[in-house]
Structure 1
């Protein structure tokens, strides 16, 4: 089941169709051949098949500009925030296990925020959590694959780092490119429930990493690590967090036991080795994977091993348009 993405998308079980006659079967096949109406990306099934092969989406800049303008039209959306901390240290913040073992209120931080979609009533709604991670071009965000690809790529989204109470203090950043593993697109394999977004701030040449700072990203790290899990519930306007030691659920899934991470927290980072000088750490997972995130007591992440490392390498080095 999927509990963590608040995008209103249906699950495979919700889309069961009872077909009573051969005529209905034929009609469905004809519709499939002609294309799909009302999919998130508004593209044809042929394009979706191409995405399944390629595993990436290049965004329409004009659409991104419109989405950013719509989101920034919300009251207080562009309220300024102080610069992200630049200090660093060799220290590591202690991460004692939360007591009780339940998520609680957390202060927003510049490098973690929400994925937003424009609401029909003019108010933005946040649907998932994401975080800035280090990359050569200083423009990369990580989240869960199920936040950005269901039946097709979700294109009407933007990232608001440091979000709280409707305020987008570090601006609105729209994807220029989205990368997922083709094996997620093919059959939503929970071992590949990770996505990377190259983002831009419309009307500027800003690099998000220079504005918000960035979390590091770690691969092939031990199963048992002290970590802080962060996410934005869809029903709240500030983040929550919890501290515990991660474990291996399987060889391809990382587990984090803590109650209270509801819908909307998908894509939220599991952070270890947090530098107390700036509050940033190393991302070792994002809420997703098994059950697309977990249940009321436990959160999961696809294992950040060689496959996710290869996806990261592709995303961080890719040109926004592969034909360039």
Structure 2
């Protein structure tokens, strides 16, 4: 076997160095693309929601306009005319002066503001404020008079009923004191046959109407028992039953 000359050894070392540098660069790129497991909070922990596709479909409800203060939360759901939002029925006491700002954050409404053109509320809520019917839907149009459709701007969540008793959901909502949405995921439990419960901290006033998302589909909204809960750590949603499904169909199915 022949010994390598010094020049050969130098070329070999330079080639090896280039390979190592290339491998290091590839590892750095891969590490950027891989999700950080630590970035996903554990179940039952509330954090500020990132600005992603799901969060952009959720927005704050304001009185009169962005200067009026936000008091509830709503979310865009899929519909034939691409113009329907879901929220708690108790958030729609004044529909004529309520506006919706999807993706609202830090005083800005990146997808504009939308006024309500129609509401779909159960008669038992209207007549007696039945907490088991504290789910409602509304149609919206641009507040500036444009012809855009809200679902074209941000997309819409499908609606899913008949969930398991202990389904895990993600709640996205706006406390009145915050200028960005909060996010919390946890397993739910049945508080009663008509009310579902979740343990998530910091879901205070303003989060009423927040969507409860099961595998990306609307499975409820924060509301119902005690208007959604008397303490920020425990929240409720009326079970999405036949009445809520009928309201959704009335709002979502185009008459034309």
TM-score, L = length of structure 1: 0.62
Of the candidates 113, 123, 133, which is equivalent to residue 59 of structure 2? 113
Number of the residue aligned with 1:78? none
1:317 Cα offset (Å):
3.1
Quickly say closer, same or farther: Cα 1:241–1:166, change in 2 above 3 A. Answer: same
More strand by share: 2
Q: Do residues 248 (structure 1) and 184 (structure 2) align?
A: no
Number of the residue aligned with 1:170? 111
More helix by share: 2
Distance in 1 (CA, whole Å) between partners of 2:182 and 2:133 is 25
Number of the residue aligned with 2:160? 218
1:315 Cα offset (Å):
1.8
Of the candidates 277, 280, 287, which is equivalent to residue 222 of structure 2? 287
Number of the residue aligned with 2:208? 266
Q: Do residues 196 (structure 1) and 126 (structure 2) align?
A: no
1:272 Cα offset (Å):
1.4
Number of the residue aligned with 2:234? 298
Quickly say closer, same or farther: Cα 1:204–1:103, change in 2 above 3 A. Answer: same
- CA RMSD after TM alignment: 2.1
The 3-state SS of whatever aligns with 1:155 is helix
Unpaired stretches in structure 1, ≥5 consecutive residues: 1-93, 274-280
Any conservation in 2 of the 1:98–1:244 contact (CA below 8 Å)? no
1:318 Cα offset (Å):
6.5
Distance in 2 (CA, whole Å) between partners of 1:189 and 1:162 is 30
How do 1:55-204 and structure 2 match up within 5 A? 98-99=41-42, 101-108=44-51, 109-118=55-64, 123-149=67-93, 153-201=94-142, 202-204=144-146
Larger Rg over CA atoms: 2
Number of the residue aligned with 1:309? 245
Distance in 2 (CA, whole Å) between partners of 1:176 and 1:270 is 24
Distance in 2 (CA, whole Å) between partners of 1:251 and 1:318 is 32
Deviations 1:77-130 (A, max 9, x none): xxxxxxxxxxxxxxxxx9xx95473422112422110111137xx823111000
Unpaired stretches in structure 2, ≥5 consecutive residues: 1-36
Distance in 2 (CA, whole Å) between partners of 1:100 and 1:182 is 36
1:139 Cα offset (Å):
0.5
1:251 Cα offset (Å):
0.8
Any conservation in 2 of the 1:148–1:155 contact (CA below 8 Å)? no
1:288 Cα offset (Å):
0.1
Distance in 2 (CA, whole Å) between partners of 1:136 and 1:188 is 29
